[in-house]
Amino acid sequence: MKTLVVDDSSTMRKILINMLGQAGLNDFEQAADGLEAVAAVKSGDIGLVMMDWNMPNMTGIDALKTMRAQGFTMPVIMVTTEAEKDRILEAIKSGASNYIIKPFTQDVVVTKIQEVISKMAGG
């Protein structure tokens, strides 16, 4: 399963990709903003998206809404500093599958990914 890692910070993308490997996910693509993320989802076989919220050109929440409006149903985990209850609710109502607040530990990321994968498998 290919995972799309979306964050305007290249360092944060590297950190998440390393953590994906710990969760057994070694096939990935990267995007630096919401526009690139939507394009990647349209053009490839993306099975999971991990997405930042605040990015230039298009925010992660707008990219999520665009993906869902265009019929893409893959799980999307928001990975963000936006921790207010209203933001989390907005993300879930917009179709986010899970939510990780920065700063995070590897255990949290791996657990959240495994939760999403388990749900995909019908567990």
Q: Write the interaction track for another protein spanning residues 34-73; mark x where CB under 8 A is met and - where it is not.
A: --------------------x-x-----------------
Residue 21 in contact with another protein, rule: CB under 8 A: no
Interacting residue with another protein among 71, 103, 122, 123 (CB under 8 A): 103
The answer to whether the bond into 103 is cis (omega within 30° of 0) is yes
Are the C-beta atoms of residues 96 and 10 closer than 8 Å to each other? Answer: no
Q: Which residues bind another protein (CB under 8 A)?
A: 8-12, 14-15, 18, 54, 56, 80-84, 86-87, 102-105
